[in-house]
Chain A
Amino acid sequence: MFGFHYRLERKTIPFVLAIIGAASIGGFVEIAPLFTIHQTVESAPNMRVYTPLELAGRNIYIREGCYACHSQMIRTLRDDVERYGHYSLAVESKYDHPMLWGSKRTGPDLARIGGKYSDAWHVIHLNNPRDVVPESVMPAYTWLKRTELRTADLRLHLKALREVGVPYTDDMIANAPADAYGQANPGTPLADGVIKRYGETTDVNAFDGSPGNVTEMDALVAYLQILGRLTDVASNGPAAGAAEP
């Protein structure tokens, strides 16, 4: 063995190939089957995609680096489940490009934060967390409420997501900016379009408390309120989580 190595280390290219070979096996064995074994991701036929407003909110969550302190992955441990809700299923982040499972809980897990607090609570909390949680060490995101959301390019965002496999329809893509506005402005004709395209249960609210505009606060709160609620496959009991062939 050492004799062989004694000869190998005299030749650059074979040595390079040996490194590539040794370092490729593990990744290949662990990653490739995740795409081919169908039990890896449960089926959830009723799962919906993010609305344009929620997607924009998700992009703000990404932009601000929220993943550094908040996980979105409830583990299969008793205390995790009792604290945050049903353990996370793979299917629940099926449309997450990228996933935001996180690795650190300086703040609590957010996988099922949707619907747990009111919109108004989120707005106050994001504006200055210490107004509602005095001990919080979260930064104050004061600019979200006064920053208009950029909606003009949302069509391109949905299109890019369709290219990586999220089933947005042509209708959804064409109406993306209008839907973003509509979801934050209940009672307007544009709001009806959101319901039509994304379903009855979609939250249509003036999330930031002020209708008539769409701010980054609207988007981020809309996103936080949908977390854990894209599909009810987890809350329907463990049986619903079983993989279907």
Chain B
Amino acid sequence: MAQLTRTERQIALALFVGLAVAGLLMVAGGRADPLGLHGALILGVAVFGSFGIISKYYEPLPGADRLREYYDDPSKFGVVAAMVWVAFGLFMGDWVAWLLVNPDLTFDAAWSSFGRIRPVHTTSVIFGFGGNALIATSFYVMQRTSRARLPDQLSPWFVLLGYNLFCILAVTGYMLGITQSREYAEPEWYADIWLVVVWIVYFVTYLRTLARRKEPHIYVSNWYYLAFILVVAMLHIVNNLAVPVSLGHAKSYSLFSGVQDAMTEWWYGHNAVAFFLTSGFLGMMYYFMPKRAGRPIFSYRLSIISFWGITFFYIWVGSHHLHYTALPQWVQTLGMTFSVLLLVPSWASAGNALLTLNGAWHKVRDDATLRFMMIAAVFYGLTTFEGSFMAIRPVNSLSHYTDWTIGHVHAGALGWVAMITFGSIYASVPWLWKRDAMYSARLVEVHFWLALAGTIVYVFAMWNSGIVQGLMWRTYNESGTLTYSFVDSLIAMHPYYIARAVGGLLFLIGALVGCYNMYMTIRAAPQRKRLASTSDMPAAVPAIAPAE
């Protein structure tokens, strides 16, 4: 706020008033519908925000000296938001896991049944945690690798606050029963439209910063962040084409149906994995890992090959979610083929990351933050291999519809996405808040081992349950009939479901330790002299440049 100019404060106030009007219209139009509740929520946020602006409107305006430093306040907010979302999302995830152990943990409420809070978990961790971390780090990385400050003070805030509003609309919506039941694209039409607006501002902010850059080359991290922003926009818009019942209804009907809808949904679904959970986080890795290790990227050429390989191949592979279904065989085959090809750029990325650590392995041993990133690269390699393997049609006949898929997703989500994010956040928190180091290196170590143990317990439980399930479903007895009823396979899952929930709990505890550590770093650690921060001017030579 203190850095916003007079004009920006006026625009911010106008935006909040506009948001309030939109909320009021939704309340009025959706009186008899859950839409009205979301209208009230939006109205509340807008009123709260307006008062926030008004109360600080006459505070001293920022001087021109602000332009000599990077603008990191939005990144700070994003990092904190990511940690809040991860604590909430992991808690919901573990609750969902325990629901499969004891289904009566819903307390007889509608909002807490499995089908409603499972998307609360997925959205909170993917979009709440992952999205905030991506936006926060992208602003951070983009400024430093471009040696340019963000173009203005308002648009990054618009992106972050608007994005979090989208996430809140999404998760509260599921609990109210507002969902499209499209996996990972559950939010309804008005939230989707809002996200498009936020995303356009995000993209424009990115381009404007790049346009001001003092580095001739666009650094590899920015390629990945750009791919993330662009392709997610494309996927989001096409997959969410729908006709609302009326402007007073939260409910909409998708434009496509049946087989075309299934293909569109998994084209979206798998590329949300590709461009949200892979591309963006690779961008993060390409900056924070070499920076923390103090080594340049191993190979510039490998990063080119893997970037374009991932961008081109991934988009084809969604149909491997639809093997043996009513989707035409030729599309399934294309999906399978490209899934196998995808292993090449994926392993090129993972290898490039691990080879970057050559010469810094002693740091991996001593520094849990760097070890988070190293383990993330290992899990990235493992998961991409597993993904290509599961996309092969006969393997998929066993793995599909089972917990193996859940195990695979969590190897990626916990092992890769969360680990690289925790590593990057641990690296960036002291830099952002100008502290010497994290409050406690020991607690980072505790977090690391809890996270790793939790991931391994979780993934092994789900591999076992998935393969047992898949095998039981296809076991025939001597007379040529199916040996096991569905319920038999369900009973066999019970111990694995307990193990999975315990693994999730370990991971959750680790994240809470991380939250505490960050809180203490931000609140309690001594402030370094302001003098040091002047060396953070945009003119500074970035420590990391593409190895050429």
Q: Mark B3-47, 1 if CB is under 8 A from A, else 0.
A: 000000000000000000000000000001000000000000000
Contacts A103-B405, A137-B490 supplied; 12 other A-B pairs, CB < 8 Å: A6-B217, A12-B210, A19-B230, A20-B234, A67-B181, A89-B326, A91-B258, A96-B257, A99-B259, A130-B103, A138-B114, A153-B246
A139–B114 contact, CB under 8 A? yes
- A22-B312, A95-B257, A139-B115 are contacts. A79–B174 as well, Cβ < 8 Å? no
**30 pairs from A and B in contact (CB 8 Å cutoff):** A6-B217, A9-B217, A9-B218, A10-B216, A26-B312, A26-B313, A27-B315, A27-B316, A30-B263, A34-B328, A39-B328, A61-B181, A62-B179, A67-B183, A79-B473, A79-B482, A83-B473, A87-B326, A93-B326, A98-B261, A98-B265, A102-B401, A106-B490, A108-B486, A136-B487, A136-B490, A137-B103, A141-B113, A160-B244, A164-B242
Among the listed A10, A23, A67, A83, which residue makes an inter-chain contact with B231, where contact means beta carbons less than 8 Å apart?
Answer: A23
- Residues on A with C-beta less than 8 A from B473 are 79, 83
Q: Mark B79-113, 1 if CB is under 8 A from A, else 0.
A: 00000000000000000000111011010101001
Among the listed A30, A78, A107, which residue makes an inter-chain contact with B331, where contact means beta carbons less than 8 Å apart?
Answer: A30
A234→B216 CA distance, assembly (Å): 62
A133→B487 CA distance, assembly (Å): 8
Looking at A103, A135, A140, the one whose CB has the most chain B CB atoms below 10 A away is A103
Q: How far is the CB of B460 from chain A (nearest CB, A)?
A: 19
Q: Which of B305-324 contact A (CB under 8 A)?
A: 308, 311-319, 321-324
A65–B243 contact, CB under 8 A? no
Q: Is B284 on the interface with A (CB-CB < 8 A)? A: no
Interface residues, chain B, CB within 8 Å of chain A?
A: 32, 99-101, 103-104, 106, 108, 110, 113-116, 118-119, 174, 177-183, 207, 210-211, 216-218, 223, 226-227, 230-231, 234, 238, 242-246, 249, 251-265, 267, 275, 300-301, 304, 308, 311-319, 321-328, 331, 334-335, 338, 397, 400-402, 405-406, 473-474, 476, 481-482, 486-487, 490-491, 497
A30–B113 contact, CB under 8 A? no
- A22-B311, A96-B257 are contacts. A75–B234 as well, Cβ < 8 Å? no
Looking at B216, B238, B267, B490, the one whose CB has the most chain A CB atoms below 10 A away is B490
A141→B262 CA distance, assembly (Å): 28
A143→B111 CA distance, assembly (Å): 11
B257–A98 contact, CB under 8 A? yes
B108–A35 contact, CB under 8 A? no
Q: What class of interface size applies to chain A in its complex with B?
A: 35 or more
A99→B344 CA distance, assembly (Å): 33
B397–A75 contact, CB under 8 A? yes
Looking at A20, A22, A37, A130, the one whose CB has the most chain B CB atoms below 10 A away is A22
Q: Which of A93-133 contact B (CB under 8 A)?
A: 93-109, 129-130, 133
B243–A26 contact, CB under 8 A? no
- A34-B259, A69-B114, A139-B103 are contacts. A26–B253 as well, Cβ < 8 Å? no
- Residues on B with C-beta less than 8 A from A25 are 312, 315
Q: Is A82 on the interface with B (CB-CB < 8 A)? A: yes
- Residues on A with C-beta less than 8 A from B261 are 93, 96-99
A82→B483 CA distance, assembly (Å): 12
Interface residues, chain A, CB within 8 Å of chain B?
A: 2, 5-6, 9-10, 12, 15-16, 19-20, 22-27, 29-31, 34-35, 37, 39-41, 59, 61-69, 71, 73, 75-80, 82-83, 87-109, 129-130, 133, 135-143, 153, 156-157, 160-161, 163-166
A61→B267 CA distance, assembly (Å): 23
- A22-B311, A98-B180 are contacts. A65–B325 as well, Cβ < 8 Å? no
A65–B218 contact, CB under 8 A? no
A156→B251 CA distance, assembly (Å): 11
In the complex, residue of chain A having the shortest beta-carbon distance to the beta carbon of B102: A137
B482–A10 contact, CB under 8 A? no
Among the listed B181, B243, B335, B487, which residue makes an inter-chain contact with A62, where contact means beta carbons less than 8 Å apart?
Answer: B181
A23–B311 contact, CB under 8 A? yes
In the complex, residue of chain A having the shortest beta-carbon distance to the beta carbon of B106: A139
- Residues on A with C-beta less than 8 A from B486 are 83, 107-108
A88–B326 contact, CB under 8 A? yes
Among the listed B104, B177, B267, which residue makes an inter-chain contact with A30, where contact means beta carbons less than 8 Å apart?
Answer: B267
In the complex, residue of chain B having the shortest beta-carbon distance to the beta carbon of A154: B245
A99–B262 contact, CB under 8 A? yes
B406–A104 contact, CB under 8 A? yes
Q: How far is the CB of B203 from chain A (nearest CB, A)?
A: 9
- Residues on A with C-beta less than 8 A from B490 are 106, 135-137
A78→B183 CA distance, assembly (Å): 27
Q: How far is the CB of A41 from chain B (nearest CB, A)?
A: 6
- Residues on B with C-beta less than 8 A from A108 are 486
B258–A90 contact, CB under 8 A? yes
